[in-house]
Structure 1
Amino acid sequence: MHELSLMGDVLALVKRDAEARGFAEITRVRLLVGDLSNALPDALEMAFDMYKAEGTAMLASEAQLALELRQARATCVLCGLDYVPERSAAAAMCPVCRFPGGRITEGEEFKVLSYEGR
């Protein structure tokens, strides 16, 4: 479960910034997680709860994790169609002209959008 490591990195980043701003604890963390980021939302939530229970990441006991999920999108380099690629496909194949290897335009994101603290 690499989400544990991902969440550890996220919380270390947020903690460092929160300390620099003089916060005593973090009450909310917002993440953007794309379909193609290889991070499972349920596993991220479980990792967040584990770090919160551990008490090592400046997380308040009532701290919340808010995930904004981003659907994958691709653009066909041949016909220009913007589409949602099939998850089972190895390459983003255009559903109209069937050209493989569409350019992924959304869905690979994994980033901290914001955090709140006091």
Structure 2
Amino acid sequence: MVNLYFLYLEACRVKNAFQFDPLYAISVSQIDPLPHQIDAVYHYILPNLDIRFLLADDHGAGKTIMAGLLFKELKYRGLIERALIVVPCHPQRPVAKKRQGNRWMMYMNFF
């Protein structure tokens, strides 16, 4: 019975960890984000969730990392369950490869 109690406490601690660690998604991810990625996600997008954002940047600037951090933070905070990612035709295959290991489903429609 005591083990179940400690498991429950640990689950509550993990569930609410984002409240004490403002960069929680970075802490639990296996990435090293660049300063502009942290700034975009944690200082512009997350504080202004009532505003819609278009994540557009130069090639190789780390848009996938920024989107991943954003989705992970929103998931840990309990604000989203599902997300729709819309990309142009040419980057669809690399995005599919990057997300293959995670439990994300990808629906592809070509127009």
Q: Which has the higher contact order (CA 8 A, sep 6+)?
A: 1
Q: Shorter-chain TM-score: which interval? A: 0.3 to 0.5
Higher-strand-fraction structure: 1
Q: Which one has a bigger Cα radius of gyration? A: 1
Higher-helix-fraction structure: 2
